[in-house]
């Protein structure tokens, strides 16, 4: 994908502007970052004025794309300056993340893409998350970020501006009825079949009785398929020790296993082992419309190796049904886009459900394990901009102690979450919270960082750990008493589930 910058740059339409400097300044003054907006737009010339907000939005997105392409080129040229393997690992992430950012911005601007305001806000949110992840890689590996100024080109600020201009309210449906465009009529029949395994496109089996013996080989085969309809890969029971990548070009892939604890894919990459968090995932999914069912995703690096991801999902409109995610720190990376988890098990210690997707968990079991430092944090949500439509919603789930924590539960403090980023947003709705939850409920990240800007909420939770009488007194913490407020975070509203979840044949509750 290294050539993507040149290709997309050649496709860009000219930026519109014979409007005056004062006109530009006036429009840019309405954004969170007027200076780069004013600086770059005022340099452009063309034949028409910015007549309305939609013109300004389109220009702002084009500008962000143009600067992202330039930044990608700068990033590519810096590879030879990496002085060690850790710097190279962080640089590699940035190169990939800029490519993904360009794809998201291009998709948002593409006139042939069916794109609502919510779609655009989702994809712009992901574009911004990608650039934050690029920076985070250098920080977590403890290496110099001297490369970053050349990479950034104010792209993050320009994308933040587009998020502000395009800002949309809750509950706007992502698709206007029916099934999303990537679901074909034949797919619906397949997904509603009682015997998916018998209709799989490819079978993976450790004993050689299938088409392939590794999941990776099946993914490679799937990349050569014709069409973009649902493609089912049935993975028979067994333990598959491999790291799996499902790239952006692989849409509508389904991994179908034989059940939790039966079909297991496992890896051991970690930050302690020299990887970035982003690249530590045993399974990483980017292609949209991904479904996993009856699978266990595992990272065995252990608690001492710090961040070690079992699954990273950046797949828009993705579903995980009756799956298990097993690790310690950073087990489940709900990285970006719109995601839904139903009847899943998630195990971990520190920040073990984290990321910056718009994600809803329903009827899931969340198991805190025994941590080395005697502190667990269930969530660490990564929203960096107040206009990103992202957050973690945990609805009708159970938060309890895993078997290794139960004997020592009284000596461990377990919290519902801590604010990884400034606008961290997480809610627990009608969820059973066992006695392991500390009475304060939530933990600081660093001093008073984000305590006024985060949004943490609890609504009608039950269990011995659900009392809110001793909860933190932060400005951003809310005991939600209004069903209208709580409903903003349901599957029907937060991820527009009514318009796309029925096509997956996965059960879901639309409202509270």
Instruction: Show which residues are catalytic.
Output: 351
What DSSP character marks residue 14? P
Distance in angstroms (rounded) separating the CA atoms of residues 24 and 41? 7
Tell me, what DSSP letter sits at residue 387? T
Question: Is there a contact between 296 and 257 (Cβ–Cβ < 8 Å)?
Answer: yes
Residue with token string 């304060």: 440
**What are the residues whose beta carbons fall under 8 Å from the beta carbon of 89, sequence distance 6 or more?**
137, 141, 274, 275, 276, 279
Give the chain's end-to-end CA distance (angstroms, integer). 43
- Tokens encoding 294: 């009856």
What torsion, rounded to 10 degrees, do the Cα atoms 105, 109, 491, 133 define?
0
Structure tokens at 297: 């995703």
DSSP letters spanning 432-482? EE-TTB-TT-B--SSTTTTTTT-EEEEES-BSTT---TT----TTEEE---
Q: State the Cα torsion 146-148-149-153 to the nearest 10°.
A: 170
**Would you say 471 and 490 are in contact if contact means Cβ atoms under 8 Å apart?**
no
CB atoms inside a 10 Å sphere around CB 432: 18
Neighbours of 52 (CB within 10 A): 8
Tokens of 311: 């699954």
Question: CA–CA separation, 383 vs 163, rounded Å?
Answer: 13
Residues 437 and 414: beta-carbon distance below 8 Å = yes
Count of C-beta atoms within a 10 Å radius of residue 405 = 21
**CA 476, 481, 484, 488 torsion: positive or negative?**
positive
């Amino acid at each position: 994908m290294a050539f993507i910058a040149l290709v997309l740059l050649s496709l860009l339409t000219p930026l519109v502007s014979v409007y005056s400097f004062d006109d530009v300044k006036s429009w840019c003054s309405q954004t969170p970052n007027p200076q780069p907006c004013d600086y770059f737009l005022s340099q452009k010339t063309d034949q028409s004025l910015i007549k309305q907000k939609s013109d300004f939005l389109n220009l702002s997105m084009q500008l962000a794309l143009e600067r992202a392409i330039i930044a990608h080129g700068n990033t590519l040229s810096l590879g030879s300056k990496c002085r060690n393997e850790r710097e190279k690992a962080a640089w590699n992430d940035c190169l990939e993340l800029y490519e993904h950012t360009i794809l998201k911005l291009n998709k948002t601007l593409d006139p042939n893409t069916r794109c609502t305001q919510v779609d655009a806000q989702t994809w712009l949110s992901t574009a911004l998350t990608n650039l934050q992840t690029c920076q985070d890689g250098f920080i977590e590996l403890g290496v110099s970020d001297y490369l970053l100024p050349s990479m950034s080109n104010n792209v993050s600020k320009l994308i933040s501006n587009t998020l502000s201009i395009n800002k949309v309210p809750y509950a706007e449906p992502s698709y206007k009825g029916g099934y999303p465009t990537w679901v074909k009529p034949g797919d619906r029949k397949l997904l509603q079949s009682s015997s998916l395994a018998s209709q799989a496109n490819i079978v993976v089996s450790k004993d050689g009785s299938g088409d392939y013996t590794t999941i990776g080989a099946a993914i490679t085969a799937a990349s050569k398929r014709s069409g973009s309809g649902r493609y089912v890969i049935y993975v028979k029971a067994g333990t598959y020790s491999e790291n799996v990548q499902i790239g952006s070009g692989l849409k509508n892939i389904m991994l179908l296993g034989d059940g939790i604890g039966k079909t297991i894919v496992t890896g051991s990459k970690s930050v302690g082992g020299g990887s970035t968090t982003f690249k530590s995932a045993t399974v990483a999914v980017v292609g949209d419309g991904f479904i996993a069912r009856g699978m266990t995703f595992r990272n065995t690096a252990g608690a001492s190796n710090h961040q070690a991801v079992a699954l990273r999902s950046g797949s828009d409109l993705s579903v995980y049904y009756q799956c298990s995610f097993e690790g310690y720190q950073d087990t489940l990376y709900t990285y970006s886009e719109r995601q839904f988890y139903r009847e899943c098990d998630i195990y971990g210690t520190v920040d073990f459900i984290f990321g910056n997707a718009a994600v809803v968990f329903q009827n899931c079991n969340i198991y805190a394990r025994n941590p080395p430092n005697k502190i667990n944090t269930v969530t660490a949500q990564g929203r960096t901009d107040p206009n990103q439509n992202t957050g973690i919603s945990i609805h009708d789930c159970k938060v309890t102690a895993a078997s290794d924590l139960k004997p020592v539960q009284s000596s461990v403090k377990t919290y519902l979450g801590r604010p990884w980023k400034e606008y961290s947003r997480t809610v627990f709705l009608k969820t059973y919270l066992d006695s392991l939850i500390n009475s304060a409920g939530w933990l600081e990240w660093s001093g008073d960082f984000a305590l006024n800007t985060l949004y943490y909420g609890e609504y009608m939770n039950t269990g011995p750990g659900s009392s809110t009488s001793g909860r933190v007194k932060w400005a951003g913490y809310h005991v939600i008493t209004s069903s209208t407020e709580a409903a903003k975070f349901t599957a029907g509203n937060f991820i527009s589930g009514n318009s796309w979840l029925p096509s997956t044949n996965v059960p879901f509750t639309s409202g509270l």
